[in-house]
């Protein structure tokens, strides 16, 4: 559920022109309400190539001509596509990069007058007790202390922001998955968002490791017993920022490894590519059924 009183930055009204540095445009580049005022969904993932492919697949479903235009500027850090009522953007890797994207996309929605938009992260992750290729629908997102907060340091002071997942949509996706012929399992469980790929996720194969294999397994087993089924690096940022700005968020991630069995991703490149498409297959059907696109 979105917040009743979303936070709006009052300083924005003082700007004559707001520069979206990481998307390569400004509030004077086009009419935001005309261009983005009908947005109901925002789909994001770490890879610019993967989100582009997903935008193409939705454009094809809608019967639109290709290519899909990248709205972002030629020297932008992120990409941005729009297909009917859906925005598509990449967020890079990790919470800091994801927050930059989130600030600029939620500002875009503010200027466009869009409210209660559903953000959907489609990603890859490390699984806990589930085999590679499994889709995990997050019913909560926690930090590595297993707390439902994203932690920041603002003006030198610690700030904890609550993470909120839209459970109604999670349940809808789970029911939908049971009626589709997906070539994988779909589970509902908790997600850890770490600040790092190696140490915070308890990997033994980084350039620095200060814990034993036994300590690692104890941490992962404890997380599993608390209902955690995967680990990634952006979820707490997405679920907390969207909640504060009056939007909803869900995480739909496929697993590339079972961390209870090993640290390194040993599936083939072809398998990884195939697995990475699975969240889009489920989410794409959901968007089609919920008026994300106009089928021509």
Please report, in range form, the residues annotated as the binding site for phosphate. Answer: 46, 77, 121-124
240, 10, 73, 20: which is closest to 142 by C-alpha?
Answer: 240
Give the span between the Cα atoms of 185 and 129, in whole angstroms: 13
Residue 266 Cα distances to 192, 233, 245, 261, 262, angstroms: 21, 20, 39, 11, 9
Known binding residues for uridine are 125-126, 201-203
Known binding residues are 46, 77, 121-126, 201-203
SS3 assignment for 181-209: CCCCCEEEEEEEECCCCCCCCCCCCCCCC
DSSP symbol at 4? S
Give the span between the Cα atoms of 53 and 72, in whole angstroms: 16
Give the containing element (helix H, strand E) for 283. helix 278-289
Q: What is the DSSP string of 54-76?
A: HHHHHHHHHTPPSPPP--S-TT-
Q: What is the DSSP string of 135-192?
A: EEEEEEEE-TTS-SEEEEEETTEEEEEE----HHHHHHHHHHHTTS--SS-EEEEEEE
Beta strands 186-193 and 228-232, pairing class: parallel
């Amino acid at each position: 559920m979105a917040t009743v009183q979303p936070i709006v930055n009052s300083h924005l009204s003082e700007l004559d022109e707001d520069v979206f540095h990481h998307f390569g445009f400004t509030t004077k580049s086009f009419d935001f309400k005309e261009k983005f005022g009908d947005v109901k969904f925002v789909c994001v993932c770490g890879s610019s190539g993967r989100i582009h492919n997903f935008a193409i697949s939705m454009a094809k479903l809608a019967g639109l001509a290709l290519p899909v235009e990248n709205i972002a500027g030629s020297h932008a850090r992120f990409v941005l596509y729009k297909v009917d009522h859906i925005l598509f953007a990449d967020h890079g890797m990790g919470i800091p990069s994801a927050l930059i994207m989130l600030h600029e996309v939620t500002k875009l929605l503010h200027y466009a007058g869009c409210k209660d938009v559903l953000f959907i992260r489609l990603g890859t992750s490390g699984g806990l007790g589930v085999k590679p290729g499994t889709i995990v629908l997050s019913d909560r997102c926690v930090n590595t202390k297993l707390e439902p907060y994203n932690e920041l340091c603002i003006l030198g002071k610690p700030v904890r922001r609550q993470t909120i997942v839209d459970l109604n949509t999670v349940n809808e996706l789970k029911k939908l998955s049971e009626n589709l012929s997906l070539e994988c399992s779909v589970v509902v469980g908790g997600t850890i968002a770490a600040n790092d790929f190696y140490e915070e996720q308890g990997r033994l194969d980084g350039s620095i490791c200060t814990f034993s294999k036994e300590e690692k397994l104890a941490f992962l087993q404890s997380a599993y017993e608390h209902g955690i089924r995967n680990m990634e690096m952006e979820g707490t940022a997405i679920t907390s920022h969207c909640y504060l700005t009056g939007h909803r968020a869900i995480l739909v991630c496929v697993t590339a490894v079972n961390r209870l069995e090993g640290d390194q991703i040993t599936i083939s490149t072809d398998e990884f590519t195939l697995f990475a498409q699975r969240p889009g297959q489920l989410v794409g059907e959901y968007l089609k059924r919920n008026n994300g696109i106009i089928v021509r």
